[in-house]
Structure 1
Amino acid sequence: MGAGVVIRDHNGVCVAACSDSYQEVTIPELAEAMAMRRSLIFAKDESLDHVSLATECLSMVQRINAGEMDRSICGPVVQDIKHLIATFSTCSVVHVRRELNAAAHLLTRSVV
C-alpha cells in the first residue's frame, strides 16, 4: 500500500507533497494511520506549527479524537499520532469526502 501527503496553505494551494510505500502493510486502516503519522512528521519537517489533518477514513478520525486508548492493531500508530499532535500549536483531525482528497490519492497511486 502507498501513502500520499499533500500540504496546502490557508488558501488551499499545494505547497509541498511526498509519498511513501508500505509494502508490508495489508490492512487499509493501518496504512491510513501510518500515512497520517507520516503527514504529521512531514509537517514538522516543513516547520509548520498550525495543522489540519484531513482524511476520508472516519474511523481513524474517531480513534485519534477519542480520549481512551486504542487497543486495535492501529493502536500504537494512533498513540504516535496523538503524541505528534501535541507538538503543534494547533492541530485538528477532520473527516473529508474522498473527492476532496484527490491529490493525495494520485500520489498514493504513484508509489503502489
Structure 2
Amino acid sequence: LRTIKIETDCLTLVCAINENIMLNASLLNTLTDIKVLLMTFDSCVVCFIRRQANNAAHLLAK
C-alpha cells in the first residue's frame, strides 16, 4: 500500500496538513507526527469531505 487517500470532515486539519496552517501549540506534535507518517507513502492526498457525505465513517463510528 503505497498510495493513500484520506478523507476527513475536519477542514482545519486538512488546511493544517496541506497548507501548513498552524494549529494551537497543544496539537503541534500530533500534526508533526501525522506529516511524518504521511511521508512514508509514495502518494498521499488529504481532502475535506462534508460529514453528510462521509457515510462510511459515520457507520464505523457507531
| Shorter-normalised TM range | 0.7 to 0.9
- TM-superposed deviation, 1:71: 4.2
Unaligned runs of 5+ in 1: 1-47
Segments of 4+ in structure 1 off by > 6 A?
none
* Higher relative contact order (CA closer than 8 Å, sequence separation 6+): 2
- TM-superposed deviation, 1:69: 5.7
TM-score (norm. length: structure 1): 0.49
Q: Percent identity?
A: 39
Cα distance in 2, alignment partners of residues 68 and 58 from structure 1 = 11
Taking a change above 3 Å as real, the CA distance of residues 67 and 59 of structure 1, as seen in their structure-2 partners, is closer
Aligned to 1:104: 57
Q: How many residues align?
A: 62
Cα distance in 1, alignment partners of residues 22 and 36 from structure 2 = 12
Aligned to 2:13: 60
Larger Rg computed on CA atoms? 1
Matched residue SS, 1:52: strand
Aligned to 2:42: 89
Deviations 1:45-93 (A, max 9, x none): xxx1111111011001011123366443222111111001110000011
Matched, 1:50 2:6: no
Cα distance in 1, alignment partners of residues 31 and 39 from structure 2 = 13
Higher strand proportion (structure 1 or 2): 1
